[in-house]
């Protein structure tokens, strides 16, 4: 009798499980699966798969790249954080370089409401510009070793407002910069600089009301209908955005007292940005675009190897022994990159009619240049610093991909008048790729952390 009751209870339980949508064979998705289940296998517009990138980056490339970026040549970046925003005047946060929102006191009626926000940003958003006396003397000599045949000089690098900043003292991390001002920056980038007509609504845009499933379908139908070059441009910007969000989630302010600040991984913040359900399917797309920008910048580095292999090229800081060791490490990294088996095929870009291809290249350049100018509108100085560096680094990568023939025709020694990279471009190129590489590595960390959430 007992066995019959056991069988009946088991049968009723199975019926309940089926009716309620539960099944022992199909357990609900884990937190990790909701973020990463769609981020696997081959990437759109590429022949490479996510798993190959993870293995290559996390175990073969990332450790050596981080060591290189800690050297003096790569840790000091010259930047002008005082340039005014060329597009609008209502920047509601940073006005001084030493405090992200100190000018809040000048906004009269709003000032009292923003005092607490200003004080927080002063502690979180200030850029540490301190350089040792020895370093200050050294950097004066660095520009003398930049050849005068610069192919593309960074904007206003000779301005008296442009100064060297130690990137190791100013890590990219959470600063409290968020809300309408932060979203306005990304909104302008997506809405006006990604070849998107205004009638097409971008999914999960907090500044555009009334978005639904039909608008999402319309957006992706439009995106898939674009030529591969314009689709690639959108994916690059989305990938850069995703990478920055990974950094902010991985170096989040978990505890803030006057005695101690504790930084670490904020799993909730990561899920809000990338969880498949919380983002209505957008999160996994963003992560795939992160891998896409990784492949683009990786390909650019593989293409520019001949420039760095020239015997008269040096990573000059004045320390001959260290400079030689750093060049050797740089070349080791570049040859490791060149050995990557599944590089992005840039021949698929601008492969049509020559006249149309040149026109599209120029559109590419103008759109990207406009995005770099928008970075001067970022209200948090640390965010502005890293935004300017990463857009310049990506721009340098695109310049390399567009200059394949010029690189192939470079002389083996002596000045290269047709193709040249300035110190500024080199520092931004490798640091920008270092940020993307770090993001890919952090995805592994978040995947492990999310596996432990039940």
Q: How confident is the model at residue 352 (pLDDT cuts 50, 70, 90)?
A: low
Please report the sign of the dihedral spanned by the C-alpha atoms of residue 395, residue 397, residue 399, residue 401: negative
Nearest Cα neighbor of 77 from 317, 318, 427 is 427
Highest mean pLDDT among 55-69, 123-137, 192-206: 55-69
Predicted local distance difference test score (pLDDT) of residue 206: 77
Measured in whole angstroms, the distance separating CA 254 from the mean position of its chain's CA atoms is 22
Predicted local distance difference test score (pLDDT) of residue 17: 40
Q: How confident is the model at residue 452 (pLDDT cuts 50, 70, 90)?
A: confident
Answer whether residue 313 shows pLDDT above 50: yes
The domain locations on the chain are 31-88+102-207+215-452
- Annotated binding residues for FAD: 173, 175, 186, 238, 241, 273
Predicted local distance difference test score (pLDDT) of residue 53: 92
Strands 163-166 and 252-256, sheet pairing? unpaired
Determine the average pLDDT of the residues in 170-194. Answer: 87
Predicted local distance difference test score (pLDDT) of residue 164: 86
CA–CA dist 267, 446 (Å, integer)? 7
In contact, 232 and 349? CB cutoff 8 Å: yes
Q: How confident is the model at residue 125 (pLDDT cuts 50, 70, 90)?
A: low
CA–CA dist 240, 432 (Å, integer)? 10
Determine the average pLDDT of the residues in 240-261. Answer: 91
Highest mean pLDDT among 18-27, 349-358, 398-407: 398-407
Where residue 126 falls (left for φ over 0; alpha for ψ -120 to 50; beta otherwise) is beta
Q: How confident is the model at residue 130 (pLDDT cuts 50, 70, 90)?
A: low
Q: How confident is the model at residue 98 (pLDDT cuts 50, 70, 90)?
A: very low
The more confidently predicted of residues 392 and 1 is 392
The more confidently predicted of residues 349 and 318 is 318
Determine the average pLDDT of the residues in 349-373. Answer: 81
- Rounded to 5 degrees, φ, ψ at 165 are -125, 135
CA–CA dist 384, 348 (Å, integer)? 33
pTM of the full structure: 0.82
Highest mean pLDDT among 3-12, 161-170, 298-307, 400-409: 298-307
Answer whether residue 55 shows pLDDT above 90: yes
Predicted local distance difference test score (pLDDT) of residue 144: 53
Query: Residue 163's beta-bridge partner residues?
Result: 79
CA–CA dist 141, 144 (Å, integer)? 6
The more confidently predicted of residues 61 and 88 is 61
383 catalytic, yes or no?
A: yes
* Cβ density class 27-39: b for 16+ within 10 Å, e for less: eeeebbebbbeeb
Tokens 């809300």, located at residue: 179
Q: CA gyration radius for the chain?
A: 24
Determine the average pLDDT of the residues in 299-322. Answer: 92
3-state secondary structure the chain: CHHHHHHHHHHHHHHHHHHCCCCCCCCCCCHHHHHHCCCCCECCCCCCEHHHHHHHHHHHHHHHHHHHHCCHHHHEEEECCCCCCCCCCCCCCCCECCECCHHHHHCHHHHHHHHHHHHHHHHHCCCCCCCCHHHHHHHHHHHHHCCCCCCCCCCCCCCCCCEEEECCCCCCCCCCCCCHHHHHHHHHHHHHHCCCCCCCCCCCCCCCCCCCHHHHHHHHHHHHCCCHHHHHHHHHHHHHHHHHHHHHHHCEEEEECCCCEEEECCHHHHHHHHCCCCCCCHHHHHHHHHHHHHHHHHHHHHHCHHHHHCCCCCCCCCCHHHHHHHHHHHHHHHHHHHCCCCCCCHHHCCCCCHHHHHHHHHHHHHHHHHHHHHHHHCCCHHHHHHHHHHHHHHHHHHHHHCCHHHHHCCCCCCCCCCCCCCHHHHHHHHHHHHHHHHHHHHHHHHHHHHHCCC
Predicted local distance difference test score (pLDDT) of residue 251: 95
Determine the average pLDDT of the residues in 366-379. Answer: 88
Predicted local distance difference test score (pLDDT) of residue 105: 32
Determine the average pLDDT of the residues in 136-160. Answer: 54
Answer whether residue 136 shows pLDDT above 50: yes
Q: pLDDT tens digits, residue range 385-411?
A: 999 999 999 999 988 988 888 898 888
The more confidently predicted of residues 34 and 306 is 306
The more confidently predicted of residues 118 and 328 is 328
CA triple 212-218-224, angle to 5 deg: 135
Predicted local distance difference test score (pLDDT) of residue 47: 67
Predicted local distance difference test score (pLDDT) of residue 325: 96
Highest mean pLDDT among 43-47, 58-62, 140-144, 398-402: 58-62
Predicted local distance difference test score (pLDDT) of residue 209: 59
Mean pLDDT of the chain: 79
Q: pLDDT tens digits, residue range 152-177?
A: 335 466 677 888 888 998 899 988 88
């Amino acid at each position: 009798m007992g066995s019959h009751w056991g069988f009946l209870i088991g049968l009723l339980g199975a019926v309940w499980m089926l009716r309620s949508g539960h099944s022992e064979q199909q357990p609900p998705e884990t937190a990790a699966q909701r973020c990463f289940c769609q981020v696997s296998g081959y990437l759109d517009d590429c022949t490479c798969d996510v798993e190959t990138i993870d293995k290559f980056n996390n175990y073969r490339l990332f450790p050596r790249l981080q060591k290189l970026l800690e050297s003096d040549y790569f840790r000091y970046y010259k930047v002008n954080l005082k340039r005014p925003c060329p597009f609008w005047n209502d920047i509601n946060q940073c006005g001084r370089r030493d405090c992200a929102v100190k000018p809040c006191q000048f906004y009269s009626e709003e000032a009292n409401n923003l005092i607490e926000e200003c004080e927080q940003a002063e502690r979180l958003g200030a850029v540490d510009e301190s350089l040792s006396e020895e370093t200050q003397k050294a950097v004066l000599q660095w520009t003398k070793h930049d050849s005068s045949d610069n192919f593309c000089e960074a904007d206003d690098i000779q301005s008296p407002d442009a100064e060297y900043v130690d990137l190791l003292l100013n890590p990219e991390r959470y600063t409290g910069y968020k809300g309408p001002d932060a979203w306005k920056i990304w909104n302008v980038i997506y809405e006006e600089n990604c070849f998107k007509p205004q009638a097409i609504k971008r999914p999960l845009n907090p500044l555009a009301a009334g978005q639904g499933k039909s608008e999402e379908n319309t957006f992706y139908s439009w995106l898939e209908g674009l030529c591969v070059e314009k689709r690639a441009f959108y994916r690059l910007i989305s990938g850069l955005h995703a990478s920055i969000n990974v950094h902010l989630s991985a170096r989040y302010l978990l505890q803030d007292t006057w005695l101690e600040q504790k930084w670490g991984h904020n799993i909730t913040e990561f899920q809000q940005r990338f969880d498949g359900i919380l983002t209505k399917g957008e999160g996994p797309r963003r992560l795939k675009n992160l891998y896409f920008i990784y492949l683009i910048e990786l390909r650019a580095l593989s293409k520019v190897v001949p420039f760095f292999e020239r015997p008269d090229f040096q990573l000059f800081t004045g320390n001959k022994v260290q400079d030689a060791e750093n060049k050797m490490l740089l070349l080791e990294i570049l040859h490791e990159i060149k050995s990557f088996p599944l590089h992005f095929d840039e021949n698929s870009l601008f492969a049509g009619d020559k006249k149309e291809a040149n026109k599209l290249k120029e559109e590419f350049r103008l759109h990207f240049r406009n995005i770099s100018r928008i970075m001067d509108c970022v209200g948090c100085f640390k965010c502005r610093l890293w935004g300017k560096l990463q857009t310049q680094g990506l721009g340098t990568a695109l310049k390399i991909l567009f200059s394949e023939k010029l690189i192939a025709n470079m002389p083996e020694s002596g000045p290269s008048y047709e193709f040249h990279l300035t110190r500024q471009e080199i520092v931004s190129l490798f640091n920008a790729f270092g940020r993307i590489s770090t993001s890919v590595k952090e995805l592994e960390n978040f995947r492990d952390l999310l596996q432990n959430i039940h």
